[in-house]
Amino acid sequence: MTPIYLDYNATTPVLPAVLDAMLPFLRAEFGNPSSAHAFGRRAKDAVGTARAQVATLIGAAPDEIVFTSGGTEASNLAIRGTAHRGTGKLPIVTSNIEHPATDAPCELLAQQGYPLKRIKARPDGIIDIDEAAAAIRAGAGLVTIIHAQNEIGTLQPVAEVAALAHEQGALIHVDAAQSVGKVRVDVKSMGVDLLSIAGHKLYAPKGVGALYIRRGVALEPLLRGAGQESGRRPGTENVPYLVGLGEACRLAAVRLQDGRHEIESLANELLDRLRREVPGIVLVGHATERLANTLNILFPGVSGRQLLEACPRVLASTGSACHADREEASSILRALDIPEEQALGAVRLSLGVPTTRQDVEEAASALAAAWRMITGNSASVAKRSTAPV
């Protein structure tokens, strides 16, 4: 049977319009943007258009966008580049539910002597703002926080945290890899200084991303070279992929402008169906302050990996894709104080633009059938029960 893909937080397909925009620059338009001839000028213009499209999606100016190889490089450039921009080792404040692209460079800096503080998230997946205020006011040079948590979908109060950071003269970096294109992101209203984007989370190819750097913010580049991207990220531009990222951002802006809520409706239907079929399931994270497409569900009496292996038609994740090869509870769920045995039952179901109502109906039925097979629960009992979350 046709697989049902519900792992859009891990990666998205390249939309047809994105591929169509890229193809000329993989064929005839192969010029180097640094070349002075016609091929080079057309490539440079294409990069400029892409830069403007990315900037428009997040309310930035084109010259505030630096292209990278993806969200991980963007976050490393923001965090390590900011830390190394001057003398002294100013404290870094982050949370305990960050993506490895943030957590690992923060840990690296801690090993180099930078004071590091981690704000604890509440059980609903949102950081404690009072704890954040105390940590920042105790001293901070950089605050770095995820906008939409990639495993559970919760949205953090970025604007409040940014205001606290700026009160202390600190910069704030936001990992928006999961949120850009799904919810409105405006760097000015959020008050952020740096913001990471990953192309493959919003229907562009893998291997391309961007970093928003507010005008006036200085950082030390990670790479040295010929000076592309105003010297902040040298190297010959990957023109086809930048064009694809720009087109993906343009399409995302159109979707957000339309204000349609198909994904939210489908996600709610999927959750409702699973609640009817599987007694005792738990939805992780805040009920409303979350990405509409993301459901992190704890299935009782099974491990998430066991459930997905018994239901091969549904392509989903047991947590972050970065940890998908381990049979252990997600560190994010453990950070929310979810007991290990319960956290092992986690399955992350994330919907995308191509998801249909039929996908939702058939995925719910298949997952419920696999759960009943593993646990020995009868279909009649499951259908009579509705689990509160």
State the amino acid at position 125 in one-letter form.
Answer: G
Catalytic, out of 106, 249, 311, 322: 322
User: Does 106 participate in catalysis according to the annotation?
Assistant: no
Cβ-based neighbours of 49, under 8 Å, separated by 6 or more: 243, 246
Q: Which of 272, 279, 278 has its CA nearest to residue 295?
A: 272
Structure tokens at 82: 């900011």
Q: Cα dihedral sign for 358, 363, 365, 366?
A: positive
Rounded Cα distance, 246 and 187, in Å = 17
Cβ-based neighbours of 155, under 8 Å, separated by 6 or more: 126, 147, 148, 179, 183, 286, 289, 290, 291
Which pairs with CB-CB distance under 8 Å and at least 24 residues apart come from 36-43?
Answer: 43/237, 43/239
Phi, psi of 366 (to 5 degrees): -65, -45
Q: What residues are labeled active site?
A: 322
